[in-house]
Amino acid sequence: MTNGKLAGKVALITGAGSGIGAATARLMAAEGASVAVTGIPEDGVIAIAAEITDSGGSAVAIPTDVSDPEQVEAAVAQTVKAFGRLDILAPNAGIQMHNEDRNLHELPEEV
């Protein structure tokens, strides 16, 4: 899709194999963005990317575990290789830390 508010932009969405991340990927693609659908499990990521491309959008599936910094760096590199740039990051993947109330910037990288 070449029309829309995000036409010509490239977005990487984490946690995009289901739920809010998948909805974000669909919406950004509908608005014209090329999207890198990242996350785990692999099946969901592949299915959402296929759904977007089958609907006329531009998407690539990149299975990625965001808890592994090397996989995150590889996902960014694959996105740039596939689309030539990266304009938008939607960091949707998340974890639950029960019984803790901590600011994101205070968390160690391994978390």
pLDDT of residue 2: 62
Which tokens hold the place of 45? 């990521």
Task: Give mean pLDDT, residues 78-88.
Answer: 98
pLDDT of residue 94: 72
Which tokens hold the place of 66? 């965001």
Query: pTM of the prediction?
Result: 0.86
Mean pLDDT check: name the lowest of 19-23, 49-53, 65-69, 71-75.
65-69
48-77: b (≥16 Cβ within 10 Å) or e? bbebbbeeebbbbbbbbebeeeebbeebbe
Task: Please give the CATH number for the structural domain made up of 10-92.
Answer: 3.40.50.720
Instruction: State pLDDT tens for residues 42-55.
Output: 999 999 999 999 99
pLDDT of residue 40: 94
